[in-house]
């Protein structure tokens, strides 16, 4: 994980713009406001659908593949640096109330006083289904065709073609 200071003036301004764009979309999930959300991203593929309630902190390191569906109230805590990138593949299904958290804080109390953030990328492969209420933590990779059961907390990488569930998420079976 790499550090960045989210209280830096340029980051505060960038976050303010992203938050306002997300608020506008939440109030009025029109095609125009969806386009504004997608314009925040590094890349948004063809046929991407994002439902109301989407929130991100910056957006500039978010990459979404073709035909991905993001359901209501998705929270993406991304970072404005490469280490905080969120990459979602083609044909993914992201359930309601999913949280993708590429940003965290230090564990030692004295280090937290600096208010610095730590960031590590989240990579989601192609044709992944992430169930409702899932939390994916920083530094995690989810392989192609994986399924993450509703309510799971993903703390470690998930192999392709597997079903995982629980807190922490563990392998249930191969598919």
- How far is Cα 37 from Cα 65, in angstroms, rounded to an integer? 15
C-beta neighbour count of 92 within 10 angstroms:
24
- How far is Cα 132 from Cα 123, in angstroms, rounded to an integer? 18
7 Cβ neighbours under 8 A, 6+ residues apart: 115
**Which position among 19, 43, 55, 105 bears the catalytic label?**
105
Token look-up 């989240």 returns: 122
137 Cβ neighbours under 8 A, 6+ residues apart: 101, 104, 122, 153, 154, 155
The phi and psi torsions of 28 (rounded to 5 degrees) equal -145, 90
- Chain centroid offset of residue 160 CA: 19
Q: Is 105 one of the catalytic residues?
A: yes
**Could you list the active site residues?**
105
């Amino acid at each position: 994980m790499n550090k960045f200071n989210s209280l830096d003036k340029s980051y505060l301004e960038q976050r303010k713009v992203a938050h306002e764009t997300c608020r506008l979309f939440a109030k009025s999930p029109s095609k125009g406001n969806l386009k504004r959300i997608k314009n925040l991203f590094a890349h948004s593929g063809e046929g991407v659908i994002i439902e109301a309630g989407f929130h991100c902190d910056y957006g500039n390191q978010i990459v979404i593949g073709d035909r991905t569906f993001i359901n209501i109230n998705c929270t993406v805590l991304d970072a404005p640096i490469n280490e905080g990138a969120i990459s979602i593949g083609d044909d993914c299904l992201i359930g309601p109330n999913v949280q993708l958290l590429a940003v965290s804080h230090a564990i030692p109390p004295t280090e937290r006083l600096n208010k610095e953030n730590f960031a590590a990328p989240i990579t989601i492969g192609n044709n992944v289904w992430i169930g409702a209420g899932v939390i994916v933590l920083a530094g995690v990779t989810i392989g192609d065709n994986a399924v993450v059961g509703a309510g799971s907390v993903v703390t470690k990488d998930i192999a392709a073609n597997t079903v995982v569930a629980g807190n922490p998420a563990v392998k249930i079976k191969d598919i």
